[in-house]
Structure 1
């Protein structure tokens, strides 16, 4: 009888272990949350990871809560089943992976991936909190499955949704809608993690926020908001920095009027515009975006663009002025930024993403003429950087000279490469170096810089064969251990990346998760990183790591380009105070005279 009872007891223990493995559960101050365990494989090694998906962190921002800051969801009425992703926020579906997805305003969810391993410290697992990109207009947390990164790196990974486009950033410059709701969504999700991640085995004092593109800009904005003290200790910015020109406006009233007008509402009074947008269905708002893009391509999307604005609270001054402010005076935002640890980087040919906007059906055969370079691309660049300011002809000539291959100045194939370089420098390279210089120009700062350059077997964005380095977004595959739905994303099935990419992915995941654990990408030492030490970045040595088939180190990444844009061009621009007539073999044939006040005729 005793043996029988002992057998029953052992059987019950085994069943309990089996059930607990299949149905993970945690008890938080908000109630019980149940998830599910999934097996993932990386480099032929299996891992079990507990997934808690679609957890609401805020009340649905619908009805009277639309165009308002998020409110905490509060306690769950009963045990919450977190086994399915929540719906994504309303958006025009550019990406193939989103093409069949339903969206809803009730979209403020987060997802948590917990490794089935002992944490690296008794205080619990380090946390990596990911903010997705998509130009503040598209994307969701579900696209980025954190299971492999969590398991291989032995950290907790959190991904989130936040409000996008007009619904996330409407700013009509008054109390009815002051903008930046998407940023406050991100912050509320961080507060939720701070208050509840301990129940999942996480260490709330070791939170690293990381993001790509618009998510990277979001990381920088959160790192510049002093009220975030205590919510995270470090940030990783992948391909996106605050000093990107032309991104931040005082408000987006003109975009609001465009939406209202295209929904047959009055635009004479902003109260009427707000009432129109407040009562509109999300479908009708997204239709305006879809119609604008359909009629005028990506260029027309500027009319309906809604991104973070200078609201006087979350963003007090134009981030484009940060570099100057960091040099000339004190700033509470910059001081807080420097108390956080930073990993920052860009890819080899970020500007290649803009080739999609040139209207060519065959990017492999794309060619740019000298006339197109001088009359379209260079003026387009100056419009981005200088806005409505009149650009002196001498500045245009300097730009033409800088972005010319002088061995083959009129070669259409060389010129297309210069276009990639031009827009890569403007939107990514120079802003990234500015951010690292701002951050590292202080004592006792942990700052790291990388350049991701390899040509991957499968690109994330449409990229012509002649682009000989990585395009925008290409690092996401290695960072997440290639744990993507390749069939949905790239229309390929049964895909396995080449071995050298998987080895590089293992190294990068080690660096990323080491940084989350210790604040140093080199520690703890592992087989993946033991032979390579990533040096700190400072304004003197300007050292960085280059990720490729074999990693290496360099100095002065984009230092020349940064000096050209921030010092040379600025000095020439400011010095051009007298009337002048300029001609150039490769410049515009039209002569232009600039008056002392800067106007040109």
Structure 2
């Protein structure tokens, strides 16, 4: 159970110059003690923690608690305060169907964290990077991502934000007005907070990068096509999650059916009606009020909602299915950095039933591909990969992650600058993940994140070459945030995306180099199975 908990937690990312100029003066630094520990936001002052090289401000409200009658409503403004608010401790995770003990059930969770270099607020405003954590829109919390390395080495202001998870953020029901994407609205509310308050922390509200991993990367895609996010960010980075992603049965998490990050409003509402019925809230006239009376702990432990959470499209927040919007060119024209890890599927294989036998491999191929299973089995025989688990890992990596990534890259590159990467350190630290002895972890899903953040509980121990890679990745990410181009002094050249090229990121001499994604991940074959 603990291993599955860790796996699930990881998986699962209209402005004008006058508006920015008008908002920049709303929040001001208030540093009476000279340390920079107190900053005045547009709602009131916050007192953070000052370290020799950086400052952190935690549990800063960006919206009112979505509790009581505000459950399943758009985020509302937070209540102002006058005395400095303690911003030295993290907020609770948002209520979620987390399988641990105790289960997070706190709905008062719409808070964000700000990390700045000590120099922020002196001289030129710094680029701002807003992080959407992973967890499939079902699990996770902003507090797990310590951004001090990214902020200090990259000279940027980093904001990590909570947003409502699972049924609390993404339940759709015909009795709940505007439902299906409240979690995306939370993210937009956090971005509007950044626009109003970035200057007070030494950040540039006119230079904001939205970035996220896994479920957070899917949300970056959603915001790229969401009308309400227009002008709220100026660059986008998606790590291990593309608009075109779909998965067959068992493709991401063992036991999960075929799906995608997106579901039509009609289907989402049908699921919501069934959900309400399980809590005795079947009457359409009273379902909303009935559901709001159900304790968060009961909602969170519903067994039918403990997997990956889809986002409804066809709503006011997300009018179009994101992959369709990309194909039609209806997305915000900002530079993008899109990427995956070299061995995304290793994690799903590790958390499938063990030992991973040939019989299991063939059964999973049948469940995933039906009549096409024999073609996939012939293309990916266990004998060619060393074990059934490694063969399935290659199938999942290529079909679910790498080739859909390439689809996005090609659609985006015709209209905006695109830089594509593949994280390829096959000896990356495993942290709290556990892999069977016969399944090397490789560059598994999530393995690049500790190179950017210090992840709570992960305990990454880098070799000198891995530390150099981490420093270079921070250089690439923050140069992109500053300029829309990851290239910079002392960094190996990274060419813009053209057809199928990516920047491979691995330690050692020659570890950073161009790679052909289509050839490496057999995308020609997978295109024939669509």
Q: Which residue of 1 aligns with 2:263?
A: 249
- Look up the match of 2:183: 182
Cα distance in 2 between the residues matched to 1:229 and 1:249: 22
Aligned residue number for residue 503 of structure 2: 544
Match of 1:535 among 489, 495, 518: 495
What is the SS of the residue equivalent to 2:146?
A: coil
1:144 corresponds in structure 2 to: 145
Match of 1:563 among 514, 524, 528: 524
Q: After TM superposition, give the deviation of residue 57 of structure 1 in Å.
A: 0.4
451-460 vs 414-423, which moves further:
451-460
Give yes or no for the alignment of 1:234 onto 2:235.
Answer: yes
**Deviation sequence 1:254-291 (CA, Å, 0-9, x none):** 5435544544x153x344543432211111112224xx
Counterpart of 1:401?
378
Deviation at 1:379, TM superposition (A): 2.9
Structure 1 residues 204-283: aligned runs within 5 Å: 204-245=205-246, 246-247=259-260, 248-250=262-264, 251-253=267-269, 255-257=271-273, 259-263=275-279, 265-267=280-282, 269-283=283-297
Contact 1:180 1:311 in 2 (8 A): no
Question: Partner residue of 1:553?
Answer: 513
Contact 2:130 2:158 in 1 (8 A): yes
Alpha-carbon RMSD: 2.7
User: 377, 384, 387: which is aligned to 2:364?
Assistant: 377
Runs of 4 or more, structure 1, over 6 Å off, are none
Alignment match, 1:109: 111
| Distance verdict in 2 for CA 1:522–1:100, change over 3 Å | farther
- C-alpha contact 2:173 2:272 (8 A) present in aligned 1: yes
C-alpha distance in structure 2 between counterparts of 1:253 and 1:175, whole Å: 10
Aligned residues: 482
Counterpart among 466, 485, 488 of residue 520 in structure 1: 485
Q: Indicate if the aligned counterparts of 2:114 and 2:157 stay in contact, CA closer than 8 A.
A: yes
Task: Please give the alpha-carbon distance, in whole angstroms, between the structure 2 residues aligned to 1:28 and 1:233.
Answer: 22
Equivalent residues in 2 for 1:26-425 (5 A)?
26-39=39-52, 48-94=53-99, 103-117=105-119, 122-173=123-174, 175-176=176-177, 178-245=179-246, 246-247=259-260, 248-250=262-264, 251-253=267-269, 255-257=271-273, 259-263=275-279, 265-267=280-282, 269-289=283-303, 301-302=306-307, 305-321=308-324, 326=327, 330-333=328-331, 336=332, 339-360=333-354, 366-369=355-358, 371-374=359-362, 376-382=363-369, 393=371, 395-404=372-381, 408=383, 413-425=386-398
Distance in 2 separating the partners of 1:151 and 1:558: 36
Against the structure 1 CA distance between its residues 80 and 266, is the aligned structure 2 distance closer, same or farther, given a 3 Å change threshold? closer
Shift of 1:307: 2.6
Distance 2:284 2:433 in 1: 39
8 A Cα contact 1:62 1:106, kept in partner:
yes
Within 1, Cα distance between the matches of 2:47 and 2:293? 36
The structure with more radius of gyration: 1
**Residues 461-514 of structure 1: per-residue CA shift (max 9 Å, x gap):** 32335326211101111112xx2334xx46xxxx74322221111111111111
Contact in 2 for aligned 1:114/1:200 (Cα 8 Å): yes
Give the 3 Å change call, closer, same or farther, for CA 152–103 of structure 1 in structure 2.
farther
1:309/1:372 CA distance change after superposition, 3 Å? same
The alpha-carbon distance between structure 1 residues 511 and 464, as it changes in their structure 2 partners (threshold 3 A), is farther
Give the conservation status (yes or no) of the 8 Å contact 2:114–2:158: yes
Q: Which has the higher contact order (CA 8 A, sep 6+)?
A: 2
Contact 1:259 1:285 in 2 (8 A): no
Shift of 1:183: 0.4
Counterpart contact for 2:133–2:213, Cα < 8 Å: yes
In structure 2, how many angstroms separate the alpha carbons of the residues matched to 1:234 and 1:144? 20
SS at 1:20's partner residue?
Answer: coil
Residue of structure 1 in register with 2:433 after alignment: 461
Could you tell me how far 1:189 is from its partner in structure 2? 0.2
Q: Is the 8 A contact 2:198 2:204 kept in 1?
A: yes
1:389-418 residue CA offsets vs partner (Å, 9 max, x unmatched): xx6x3x33322222225xx37x9x532211
Stretches of structure 2 that go unaligned for 5 or more consecutive residues are: 1-30, 247-258
Query: Distance between the aligned counterparts of 2:269 and 2:156, measured in 1?
Result: 42
- The 5-angstrom pairing of residues 472-483 of structure 1 reads 472-480=445-453, 483=454
Q: Aligned in 2, Cα 1:254/1:556: closer, same or farther, shift over 3 Å?
A: same
Q: Which residue of 2 aligns with 1:5?
A: none
Aligned mate of 2:418, from 437, 447, 453: 447
- Pick one of 443, 463, 468 that aligns with 1:470: 443
1:94 CA drift (Å): 4.4
Give the whole-Å Cα distance in 2 for the aligned partners of 1:192 and 1:546: 33
Q: Distance between the aligned counterparts of 1:427 and 1:277, measured in 2?
A: 35
